[in-house]
Every structure is written in structure tokens, then in C-alpha cells.
């Protein structure tokens, strides 16, 4: 198998790989990291938690791209403007690169990863207005958002405050970083939508 073939395979199967990786990460974090450094455990836990979020969005039941294209962008296509490339690069850069890098840097200084719990929480909350805008009860990712992202995000922040790592729940730079990162996602989506409209004479 050539590198191009591996790349093509990963573009299609990355979410399934992420689900499997999340299981190994959960075991590693709970068995080894938790008892040695609880703060680091909380920070690193955000990566497999987000992979579980992606599992609902793109595997079980999946269909987030179709939902977004049809119900949010209101186009007649299932796979554009939010297409395979957009989904792949956004999630790989954020969850497979930025999350782990910040987590690993947290072994040196917790500050590198203290924005992650806030982002986990915000990423969960975002799915609520998506349902409102789409005028439907469910959207792919909502269940994990309500029962994993939001409660674990809150628990993480509260625990970090109780541990004395965060001085305040809201008045700190880490929530600002999380908001900025979250805002990048709809901006990237908006740019993708504008390119789609331009190429299809919709503007």
C-alpha cells in the first residue's frame, strides 16, 4: 500500500480510527495517569472525550455533514459545501494535532492545556442552537454533547478550580482561547460556503 493509498483510507476512516484510539486512551489515562497526576489526567482526558463526540457526529449514527449542508446551509447536496476534505482537515488539525500537542505540553506546564475543558464544553453547547436553527430536535453529536461534553466540561473546570490550578471559573485567559478556537470553525465553514456559492453561481 502506497502513502497516497494510506492517506485516502485515513480520509474515509479517521473517525473510526479515532473511536478505537479513544478506548486505548481512556484505559491508559484511568489506569496510569489518573493516580500520578490528576490535573494532567483531566487535561489529557479531553482528547478521547472529543473523539467520542466525533463518533456520534460521523459514525453512530453519523450524518453531521449531511445535516449541516441540508439544514444549516440549506443546499440540495449531502456532501457539499461541507465535504470530506473540510471535515477531515478540521478534525485532524484540531483533535488529532492541536489537542494532543497541547496535552503533551501540559506535562511541562499545565497552562498549555487549560483551555481544552472549556472547548469541550463550548463544542457541546454549540449543538443546541444548531438544533434550534435547523428546527429539529436531534442533530448528529447532540446526545454526546448533552451527556458527555457539557457535564464533563463543567466537571473538569470545577475540579481544576478546586485544585487551585484555575483561579476563576470564567475570568481567565483559557476560556478566551477556547472561544477563539471555536470561532475559527464557523469562520472556516463560512469561507467554504462562500467558495461553494461562487462556484455554483449562488451569489
Q: Give CA separation, 140 vs 28, 58, 63, 104, in Å.
A: 28, 8, 6, 29
Residue 54 class from Cβ within 10 Å (0-12 exposed, 13-18 middle, 19+ buried)?
buried
**Looking up cell 467520542, which residue turns up?**
52
Distance CA 142, CA 131 (A): 8
DSSP secondary structure code for residue 136 in this structure: S
- Residue 70 pLDDT: 94
- Residue 202 pLDDT: 60
- Residue 195 pLDDT: 85
Q: How many domains does the chain have?
A: 1
- Residue 1 pLDDT: 62
Distance CA 116, CA 177 (A): 9
> Cβ(184)–Cβ(190) under 8 Å?
no
Cell of 100: 494532543
- Residue 192 pLDDT: 87
Residue 32 class from Cβ within 10 Å (0-12 exposed, 13-18 middle, 19+ buried)?
exposed
Q: Which domain holds residue 84?
A: 3-199
Distance CA 177, CA 180 (A): 5
- pLDDT means per 10 residues, the chain with 203 residues, are 82 94 97 96 97 96 95 91 92 93 96 97 97 95 98 97 95 96 91 85 61
Residue 84: alpha-carbon gap to chain centroid: 16
Q: Give CA separation, 199 vs 47, 85, 108, 194, in Å.
A: 36, 17, 47, 9
Amino acid at each position: 500500500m502506497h502513502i497516497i493509498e494510506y492517506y485516502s483510507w485515513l480520509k474515509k476512516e479517521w473517525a473510526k480510527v479515532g473511536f478505537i484510539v479513544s478506548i486505548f486512551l481512556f484505559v491508559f489515562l484511568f489506569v496510569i495517569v489518573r493516580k500520578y497526576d490528576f490535573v494532567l489526567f483531566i487535561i489529557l482526558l479531553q482528547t478521547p472525550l472529543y473523539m467520542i463526540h466525533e463518533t456520534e457526529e460521523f459514525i453512530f449514527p453519523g450524518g453531521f455533514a449531511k445535516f449541516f449542508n441540508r439544514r444549516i446551509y440549506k443546499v440540495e447536496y449531502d456532501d457539499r459545501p461541507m465535504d470530506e476534505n473540510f471535515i477531515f482537515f478540521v478534525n485532524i488539525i484540531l483533535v488529532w494535532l492541536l489537542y494532543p500537542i497541547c496535552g503533551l505540553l501540559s506535562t511541562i506546564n499545565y497552562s498549555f492545556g487549560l483551555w481544552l475543558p472549556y472547548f469541550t464544553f463550548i463544542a457541546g453547547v454549540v449543538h443546541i442552537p444548531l438544533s434550534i436553527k435547523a428546527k429539529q430536535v436531534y442533530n448528529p453529536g447532540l446526545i454526546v454533547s448533552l451527556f458527555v461534553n457539557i457535564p464533563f466540561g463543567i466537571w473538569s473546570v470545577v475540579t481544576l478550580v478546586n485544585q487551585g490550578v484555575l483561579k476563576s471559573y470564567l475570568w481567565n485567559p483559557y476560556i478566551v482561547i477556547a472561544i477563539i478556537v471555536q470561532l475559527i470553525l464557523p469562520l472556516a465553514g463560512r469561507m467554504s460556503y462562500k467558495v461553494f456559492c461562487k462556484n455554483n453561481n449562488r451569489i
